[in-house]
Chain A
Amino acid sequence: MRHGSAARRRQTREALNGAMSQRFFEHWITETLRLRESLWGPLEDSAEAGLARAGDGNFPERVAHRARLLAQREGLDTVVQRWRQAARIVLIAFMVLAVLAGASAAAGALGNGTRPVNLAMAIMGLLGLNLVTLVLWGLSFAMRGGDTGSLLADAWLNLTRKLARGPDAALAPRALLEILSRQKATRWCAGVLGHGVWVIALVSCLATLMALLAVRRYSFQWETTLLSPDTYVWIVHALGALPSLLGFPQPSADIVRASGNVQSLPESAQALWSGWLLGVVAVYGLAPRIAALAISLFVSRRRLSRMTVDASLPGIAELHDRLMPPSVSTGVDAPAPQPVLPGTGRHAGRVETGRRCVLGVELPEDVAGPLLEAARNAPSTSAEASDHDTPSGITDLGVIDTREQRRQVLDALRSRPAERLLVACDARQTPDRGTSALLSELRTLSQAMQVCLLPADAEARRAQWQKLLLQTGFEPDQIAASTHAGMTWLMEDRNPEAPST
């Protein structure tokens, strides 16, 4: 249901756009949104970005998609539409003015028929401004400055800016100028506008001329103080050369000379002059403008057709990883299980009194050495049992690492459980469940056990070790702080009142 109405709204919008191509409008919207985001911060776009990502396509397409959705949401597309309407109104006003201006220029040049028409003044009045502005437009290409290169286009832009309402309203023309300038089409589009208006004015001027010449009687003459009649003949023939190729009449030299004094001119000469005048206006006024218009149209169309979204613009480059994410998470397989630590069995069974053992678990060389040194040199206590392999009476079970070593030590302890067992672990490594299981098992094979975390100055993972040991069922006082503390505990007599010899 929602899809249908969205599609219908889209269709109406497209119908409203009319002549303007949908693509150009999209670019305009994208640029308007980009400006808005760069001025007032990025918009909240998680839904729209998600839709854009889901919609496939390459990066520029996704940017445009997101811009379309956000513009709809924020009402930016209505802003642009409203500006276009205002612009159209101003343009129509210009065109009406142009018609009136052309007509009044023609009427002014010819006058009301009571006085003879001064040919030179007529031509300057009809063509002067047109030629000057045309030359300026041509020069504007050579120079750097100026906004759009066309006075009319600038005036049009300023008027539309003044008519716009609302904070977003200024974005629409600015966005338009930005996209045109990026395509280097500003001058040409402005040219289309300027030349178009001029063409309308000139057509209206020609039409008015023809109408007036058809219904009123005019007489043409030239006047001069400085120049000679021959100069005028030359000027008239020079100007009339091109129009005569198109079929406009060309007054002969005699008629030109005779026109210095209007009384002696036949009716047909006036008709010749009017034809000549129309030809000059058409060829030197209208035709260059039509040519300029055609060139502007052609170039601007070609440049605009190449319009793309520039992916490295500020405001768009930042969206790259958001719309074309380098990776997408696909979720987890199942909720995490509760960690299962092996059971905390207590020791059961006999114990061999006086058997004190020290054991290293996965200790590297630099730590195992000092530990075993300390074990060898610990002060000896009682002189019990004979098979002690260290002078201090501590049994060194070695350092266990592989499966076989573990099995051997566990077997040895099973056959001869220890009264006190000191286990040293590497505090620099990460404690894991396997170690926890091993320590648990060792605890069942000794009456009292302490774990010593070496080296004593390794702080980084000590907290993790302590957490794991507590989870495995050790008490805090079963964690020895250093080799010395561990050795002291190991060498403590169980029975302090034991006689010493």
Chain B
Amino acid sequence: MNNAARSLRLAVVGHTNTGKTSLLRTLSRDPDFGQVQDSPGTTRHVEGLRLMMGGSAVIELFDTPGMEDGMALLDYLDQLAEPGVRLDGPERIQRFLDSPESHRRFEQEARVLRTLLECDAGIYVIDARDPVLGKHRDELAVLASCGHPLLPVLNFTHSPDLRIDEWRSALSRLGLHAVVEFDTVAPPLDGEDQLYDKLALLLDPHAPTLRAMKRDIAEQRQQRHADALLLVAEMLIDVAALRLSTPAEPPAMEEAAERLRRLARQREARGIDALLKRYNFRSADFPQHSFPLQGERWDMDLFHPQALKDFGIQVGKGMAAGAMAGATVDMFTAGISLGAATLLGAAAGGLWQGADKLGRRLLGKLRGYQELTVDDAVLRLLAMRGLALIAALERRGHAAHGPIEIEELIDDRAEALRKEQLPEPLLEARASPEWSTLLEEHYQPSNRRNQAVRKLATELGA
């Protein structure tokens, strides 16, 4: 049988409670795989998993129960060895698997060994915080007798109290020189790449598959990032173009401002849900109410002044407070200066249609209506929160527990968003109320809007 044509089979083995299931959750991007608990013997069966590339299965991974009694097993293997009969590693293991204790005392270990015998290689997961003990060496000896290459993966490398050097030298002494450093809670950006590269070194016939998988993962990551930026750009355009017209009396204006805020909040919530889904996380991972940031708690509300301060956005003097918070009253002059081009276009293209739209606004103005839009500062905040969430999602592995943590953005792009003029597509959106999908009666699909969304996404990602 041609080894390379069949999908690559890997057994994930190791001492109990080292994060084997978590590793598989991270690699498979599936937060529901297996069961994860900080206790020994959580996984007691062998569970399989296929990694897909382009819709077809390429690599098959097997989560195994942890080895708990490696020393006694090695003793038992010695006991089974008949004097005068020389058996090689796999034969010894097979003999063990046919013995009575493989169904009783060593049933867990037997499952692991049976799986490893049927696979092409084993990934040996190590908790890098554990000391190197005799029982680990014995386990490795047993696993190595199965006759397949073993790739050690040091897990929890982003925790304090590490013993990486101890482990590296101990593994070297056992002949295992290729080691991968990983962390299932906050996976290093190149962790998966390291894994596939070193597997390719160990398993030469499968190297093309592994390299292709590595490339596919990188492409998927880029695609996800691009899609995420587009989702944020759509959200920003929708909110920037939102425009409510209201009579000029305070109670009506406050009501309209409240409606404006509600629509903006709902749109942000939808945007967050879409981002979570795109990265295959659950909504429960990002609670809608306050979440901790560097020890501070702040109100999730988009329109709270503290929220702006926390992201370092200056609140302009003219920004309204209280009931009118977050809404800007458009003096209509800004609208008409940018709308001059619209007027011309309307005249040329759809005479009465354009006049109808502009006419509605003119009529409103004549009747003493004002137009409310969302403050610039709030748009900046929306953009920064969106980008901060994307950054957090990129960093997070699917084995992580606990809520997603947002970190403040400190780079040139964030500075530009904070201080400089709003990106051009957003300015254009402000003058084009028909771009906002939040008010269905005014929304018109247009090619210009699609272009603006794409341009904004590129600018946000730059």
Contacts and interface: CB of A to CB of B under 8 A. Distances in A.
Contact of A147 (B127, B223, B444): B444
A174 B38 contact: no
A140 B341 CA distance: 13
23 contacts: A140-B348, A140-B349, A143-B349, A145-B354, A146-B354, A174-B443, A312-B223, A317-B231, A321-B277, A326-B29, A327-B28, A327-B50, A329-B50, A330-B60, A333-B45, A339-B41, A402-B137, A402-B138, A403-B74, A432-B41, A432-B66, A433-B41, A433-B68
B117 to A, nearest CB: 13
A406 B274 contact: no
Contacts of B49: 327-330
Interface of A: 38-39, 56-58, 136, 139-140, 142-149, 151, 154, 170, 174, 177-178, 180-182, 184, 186, 311-315, 317-318, 320-322, 324-337, 339-340, 342, 362, 364, 401-403, 405-406, 426, 428-434, 437, 460-461, 464, 467-468
A362 B131 CA distance: 9
Contacts of B69: 432-434, 437
B297 interface: no
B410 to A, nearest CB: 28
B287 interface: no
B223 to A, nearest CB: 8
Contact of B47 (A147, A331, A460): A331
Q: Which of A145, A178, A406 is most buried by chain B, counting CB atoms within 10 A of its CB?
A: A145
A461 to B, nearest CB: 7
A177 B449 CA distance: 13
Contact of A181 (B279, B346, B450): B450
Interface stretch (B51-59, B241-249, B304-312): B51-59
Given A145-B342, A402-B137, A151 B231 contact: no
Given A330-B60, A362-B135, 20 more contacts: A56-B55, A136-B348, A143-B349, A144-B341, A144-B345, A145-B346, A147-B349, A174-B445, A312-B230, A317-B230, A320-B278, A321-B29, A322-B277, A327-B52, A329-B48, A330-B47, A334-B45, A402-B138, A434-B68, A434-B70
Contacts of A145: 341-350, 354
Given A327-B29, A468-B40, A430 B17 contact: yes
A463 to B, nearest CB: 9
Contacts of B354: 145-146
A406 B51 CA distance: 42
A406 B71 CA distance: 10
Contacts of A184: 447
Contacts of B30: 325-327, 329
A325 B220 CA distance: 12
A386 to B, nearest CB: 33
B349 A326 contact: no
7 tightest A-B contacts by CB? Answer: A146-B349, A145-B345, A327-B28, A402-B134, A143-B345, A336-B44, A330-B48
A317 B278 contact: yes
B16 interface: yes
A427 to B, nearest CB: 13
B436 interface: no
A154 B444 CA distance: 12
Contacts of A437: 69, 72
Interface stretch (B89-97, B102-110, B176-184): B102-110
A39 B350 CA distance: 28
A139 B104 CA distance: 86
B346 A326 contact: no
B351 interface: yes
B346 A432 contact: no
Q: Which of A144, A149, A154, A364 is most buried by chain B, counting CB atoms within 10 A of its CB?
A: A144
Contacts of B348: 136, 139-140, 142-143, 145-146
Contacts of B99: none
Contact of B105 (A142, A332, A340, A431): A340
B261 interface: no
Nearest to A158: B353
Q: Which of B108, B130, B348, B448 is most buried by chain A, counting CB atoms within 10 A of its CB?
A: B348
Q: Which of A154, A184, A433 is most buried by chain B, counting CB atoms within 10 A of its CB?
A: A433
A333 B118 CA distance: 13
